[in-house]
């Protein structure tokens, strides 16, 4: 894995396809559930992070954009892809969302995008790759939300995401990038569909960043 030429031109995203599902499953479960890298949740949540069926549903959803950073033979965007993925991020567009829900998808703004499934290969963490991927996703979401047929002139657009409690280093990472806790939180779902919480007080905390204000 070539780390010497990582920059905003060599790190690139394309929209995920069904052929990426197996590689996505491996990347997300490795980054979230194994003890590699600094972003994993292995000490807080056990079990798998996501299944191939869930990924297929997300890719098929026209309002849910899942982007991947594919590994290429040359390490550059014009190189032949190897089939391995080095990163991914999802943007779920929620324009005119239902604001009466009492969950983490409920905010004062009807014009928002939820960012999730953000992962960077453990061997590339700390190299600035995540910053480039997150910025690209934010730019995409901001442009999508501010398009002429979707812009809500009464309220600003918002980017939201959720993180696990008891992750001060991850919270600090997002705060440095303009995200703030908005007070919305919920107990980690103990339904077997999101992994197995390893502590009873585990919560999901919502962060938000206002754009187009």
Rounded to the nearest 5 degrees, what angle is found at the Cα of 159, between the Cα atoms of 154 and 164? 140
Can you tell me the distance from the alpha carbon of 163 to that of 71, in angstroms, rounded to the nearest whole number?
A: 27
CA distances from 127 to 56, 91, 122 (A): 30, 23, 10
3-state secondary structure of 213: coil
> What pLDDT, in 10s, does the model give residues 25-49?
999 999 999 999 999 999 999 999 9
CA distances from 156 to 21, 61, 142, 213 (A): 34, 25, 11, 5
pTM: 0.88
Beta strands in 103-211 (DSSP E): 112-120, 157-164, 180-187, 196-197, 203-211
Summary mean pLDDT of the chain: 87
The average pLDDT across 57-81 equals 93
> What pLDDT, in 10s, does the model give residues 109-157?
568 999 999 999 999 999 999 999 999 999 999 888 887 444 555 567 8
Query: Could you give the dihedral angle defined by the CA atoms of residues 71, 9, 37 and 171, in that order, rounded to the nearest 10 degrees?
Result: -140
């Amino acid at each position: 894995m070539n780390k010497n030429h990582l920059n905003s031109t060599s790190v690139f995203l394309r929209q995920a396809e069904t052929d990426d599902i197996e590689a996505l499953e491996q990347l997300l479960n490795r980054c979230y559930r194994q003890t590699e890298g600094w972003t994993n949740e292995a000490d807080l949540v056990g079990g798998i992070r996501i299944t191939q069926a869930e990924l297929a549903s997300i890719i098929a959803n026209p309002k849910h954009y899942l982007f991947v950073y594919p590994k290429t033979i040359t390490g550059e965007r014009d190189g032949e892809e190897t089939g391995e993925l080095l990163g991914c991020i999802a943007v779920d567009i929620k324009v005119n969302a239902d604001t009466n829900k009492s969950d983490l998808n409920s905010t004062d703004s009807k014009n928002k995008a939820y960012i999730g499934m953000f992962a960077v290969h453990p061997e590339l963490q700390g190299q600035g790759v995540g910053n480039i991927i997150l910025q690209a996703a934010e730019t995409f979401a901001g442009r999508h939300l501010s398009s002429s047929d979707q812009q809500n002139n009464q309220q600003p657009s918002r980017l939201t995401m959720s993180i696990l409690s008891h992750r001060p280093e991850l919270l600090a990472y997002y705060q440095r990038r303009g995200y703030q806790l908005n007070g919305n939180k919920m107990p980690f779902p103990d339904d077997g569909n999101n992994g197995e919480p390893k502590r009873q007080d585990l919560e999901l905390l919502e962060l938000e960043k206002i754009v187009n204000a």
